[in-house]
Structure 1
Amino acid sequence: MQNKSVIDNEGVDTSRDNNEYDSIQNIAPPVPLWKTWGLRIIFAAMVIVLGSKQLNYILEGASEWSNWRGLGHAMLFTLAVLAIGGVFRPLAFLPIMIYEIAWKTVWLVVVALPPWLAGQEIPAIVNAKSSIIGICILMILIPWRYVWWRYFAQPIEPWRRKNQVSNNK
Structure 2
Amino acid sequence: MPHVSLFRLYSLRVVYLIIVVGLALVVWPSVIHHDKPWGLSQGVVKCMLTAFSLLSVLGIRYPLQMIPVLLWELTWKTIWLLVVALPAWQSGTADEAIISTTFECLFVIIIPLAMPWKYVYARYIQQQGDRWSNESPTLAAHGSQA
| TM bracket (short chain) | 0.7 to 0.9
Instruction: Assess, with a 3 A threshold, how the Cα gap between structure 1 residues 65 and 111 changes in structure 2: closer, same or farther.
Output: farther
Higher RCO by CA contacts (8 Å cutoff, separation 6 or greater): 2
Matched residues in 2 for 1:98 and 1:74: separation? 19
CA contact (8 A) 1:112 1:122 kept: no
Q: How many residues align?
A: 136
Other-structure match for 1:19: none
Match of 2:102 among 115, 128, 144: 128
Decide which of 46, 52, 57 is 2:25's aligned counterpart: 52
Partner of 2:133: 160
Cα distance change on mapping 1:111 and 1:64 into 2, 3 Å = farther
Moved over 6 A (4+): none
Residues 106 and 122 of structure 1, relative CA distance in 2, 3 Å threshold: farther
**Structure 2 counterpart of 1:102, one-letter code:** T
Instruction: Give the corresponding residue for 1:71.
Output: 44
TM-score (ref. length: structure 2): 0.81
**Which whole-Å CA distance do the structure 2 matches of 1:107 and 1:32 have between them?**
31
TM (norm. structure 1) is 0.71
Q: Which runs of 5+ in 2 are unaligned?
A: 137-146
CA RMSD in angstroms, aligned pairs only: 2.2
Contact preservation (8 Å) 2:85, 2:98: no
Q: Which amino acid aligns with 1:30?
A: H
Q: Distance in 2 between matches of 1:51 and 1:107?
A: 23
Match of 1:119 in 2: 92
